[in-house]
Structure 1
């Protein structure tokens, strides 16, 4: 180690998009040391991925951002479809959707990616941490004790761990030497950008399609005067896409929208996008990890890229914080790849299929882009070595919920009789233990005291209970059908760790976290 190395025994994050920012917040709120750098000299103002899905809103509620995102975006924007210039219909694919006690977000929110990043930066600043702009990690070396990263200006940074959140062209990934398997389809491309268009209604998402399968879409971006423009590109004489420009956007709009007198102006983002489907074969090499687009890149349909990256960070954050603090066994970080790599593969399959469905949908007058709405994400990790084997007698109906599943929400009352949701309870960065019934309350209280740095414990509906399931929603959501006691251990990322009736099993699980070794 030389004198030019700046010591930083926490986590160095390369890349300050939604993934890197979410990870930084998750680490900061758990007291881990964080430094986050980004190659760009300043934050962008591009809409890019423009939607947060319901599961991501649950994640960001825990992070402390969902309320701000809902205020900045919109959850209700009808789709207005035109075919060969004629208005076909207005639809809202989520018109009948309603929130439920166990799932409070029935639909996603339309919001520009730059706005999501701004909200995450503001939240990160509340922990006293700012993004170091114009600072790129260009390489690294690692040993058993940490990582020495090289910054573009020659600075050498020592960190306990390095996480590459630096996008599809990730320099961290390239330096790791992992494979990035997949394809780039040069024959399928799209131009995307942010423009203004005075005289076009901002109350709907306009989708103009033609019988030849081409078209153009204008989506009003909340909180701005801009629309996100999407269309197939103009081609040169050789059939190759022409570079995007305001002039080409105008020609495409005039051709398909057939709305005279509308001029596109003030472009703030013009981009040519090609169908790119790739993922790594590994998300961790020693003390260096990957998340978001650095690990997997998706077709644009469904907005799955930003959402998957945020959920990567949510899965990794608590594990990395425990590892940094020396509270986790050496195998805990292996569960990040074990859990998220299959999700990335599944999501790539889903997003590729969605893109194909979008292309087919535009050819039929009676269908639209809403037909390509994605299925729910973040349903769980039942295959994970962190998913303890379910005890059959733990609940009256163990098929309702299993270890590894997403932990449902439910309205309850606290000890003072005030309304409180389980999601609010789970916002604590530790594991949460719910004790349904008072029979083992003493043992549960002892567990909470003995593992205070790792666990918070609540008795539900027992004598002197911490929480009251006054309407029975929590018992229904967690499949508890009998009056016998039941213990539910919830992970810091709000997935079920354990279902049991025996406090000893909870103690054993927490001990395993601190000494964790992965499956063979």
Structure 2
């Protein structure tokens, strides 16, 4: 291809992190032509976002990478508190789960280094025929009523019907669009995070060295599925942190019983100041913001990557429906409507966990997030008890009699008929996968239209009012 020729795509995705790769996988399985462009020469090499929450495990299962993610990682270890070179006792880093059960196969966060998650998603994308173009630094982005044209420092320009900024907290695309972020400093103290090889520590615990009068805390966590540890250290607010091997060895020696030489290698290191920031808008015309480009979290509580993956999961089916002509363009307005409030809530949770004002508990698992206030949540039943499952809620699994997620898996919509409603005559709906079950404790009785991203879009006692919803959403 000559440099003056346009590379034509349905969707241009800027950034090959977890957000961009998740979206690309979802679009590829929908037959949408999408190109992922990445400024770097390869995938991100660090462990940064290592916690895969239960809801995201469900998403990955649907996208066909669930087994690979499980095989690549492991459960989080129990914390071990150290002082003066002695073990002071164990500390649970997460509240034990009392949710999941019949409703989800996943109850606890699963640790997978971010670089490995990205490798798995990239392999799945390739399997589906998708592509990543590395070494493509965006220089300009212009849009008109029909599409977006992007120019790069090298390689041909790209013309696409839509573009998605998945290029991180310092997003070039967001700045080009003039979208501002509103935020705050979560913690004025700079942090160092690194992937290191260390001898002299067991791999059964997350080793915590509490702060002292002269030094901030140090935490060293074995990274499941690897021989590495992730090191996190806090510094006085005026420190200019140099993320070098010498700095890491000095921190280890000063704050633990280990010797500098016990740190044998560093494969990745970075420094940052924890902050929370939210984009004022998630859309400008034909360009959408997703992941860190739209919301920047403290790493505490493991919400950043998970919220980002679910941005992509929300946007993917909507882009597919509009691009294939099954839904009006206005469906895309619901992306910001649904995701911006969720991102704001998750930012607040991350900040509270970082400051010690909240535990890593049920809310961090993201199984209870819902879109009840969305224009896409249409509940036609009346007199429901407060505890009832309703439109906008996540559609639960069923693990005993029928695995509902086996029925939901894939890019389609599902009409679930439960209880007496299972006998309701339902007109032929060629685009829907219809499932009838005699009973389900969580669902109760009714008809439930399950969106491709696993939320209940419409619920009712009769299919009489279903047709208008189907035409609006492209089901």
Shift of 1:96: 6.6
Q: TM-score, normalised by structure 1?
A: 0.85
Deviations 1:6-32 (A, max 9, x none): 242411101010000000011111111
For the pair 1:498 / 2:458, whether they are aligned, the reply is yes
CA, structure 1 residues 96+44, in 2 after alignment: closer, same or farther (shift >3 Å)? closer
SS at match of 2:303: helix
What residue ranges of structure 2 are gaps of 5+ in the alignment? none
Residue aligning to 1:167 = 168
For the pair 1:429 / 2:419, whether they are aligned, the reply is no
Larger Rg: 1
Deviations 1:183-211 (A, max 9, x none): 34683211110111112111111111144
Residue aligning to 1:14 = 14
Q: What pairs up with 1:238-387 in 2 under 5 angstroms? A: 239-260=238-259, 263-357=262-356, 371-373=359-361, 375-377=364-366, 379-387=369-377
Partners of 1:276 and 1:165 in 2: how far apart? 18
Partners of 1:460 and 1:96 in 2: how far apart? 28
Residue aligning to 2:152 = 151
Shift of 1:283: 0.6
Query: Aligned to 2:228, which of 223, 226, 229?
Result: 226
Shift of 1:45: 2.3
Shift of 1:389: 3.0
Q: What pairs up with 1:431-470 in 2 under 5 angstroms? A: 431-437=413-419, 443-444=425-426, 446-449=427-430, 452=431, 455-461=432-438
SS at match of 1:458: strand
Partners of 1:262 and 1:313 in 2: how far apart? 43
Q: Is contact 1:438-1:459 (8 Å) kept?
A: no
Partners of 2:287 and 2:359 in 1: how far apart? 39
Query: Aligned to 1:509, which of 465, 469, 474?
Result: 469
Partners of 1:401 and 1:459 in 2: how far apart? 17
Shift of 1:260: 4.9
Partners of 1:432 and 1:310 in 2: how far apart? 22
SS at match of 1:382: coil
The number of residues matched between the two structures is 470
SS at match of 1:303: coil
- Select between 249-258 and 34-43 the one with higher mean Cα deviation: 249-258
- Select between 274-283 and 260-269 the one with higher mean Cα deviation: 260-269
Q: Is contact 2:56-2:310 (8 Å) kept?
A: yes
Partners of 2:35 and 2:59 in 1: how far apart? 22
Partners of 1:23 and 1:169 in 2: how far apart? 19
SS at match of 1:206: strand
Partners of 2:57 and 2:187 in 1: how far apart? 34
SS at match of 2:370: coil
SS at match of 1:429: coil
Shift of 1:512: 2.3
Partners of 1:400 and 1:297 in 2: how far apart? 34
Residue aligning to 2:191 = 190
CA, structure 1 residues 437+273, in 2 after alignment: closer, same or farther (shift >3 Å)? same
CA, structure 1 residues 89+105, in 2 after alignment: closer, same or farther (shift >3 Å)? same
Partners of 1:104 and 1:439 in 2: how far apart? 26
Residue aligning to 2:31 = 31
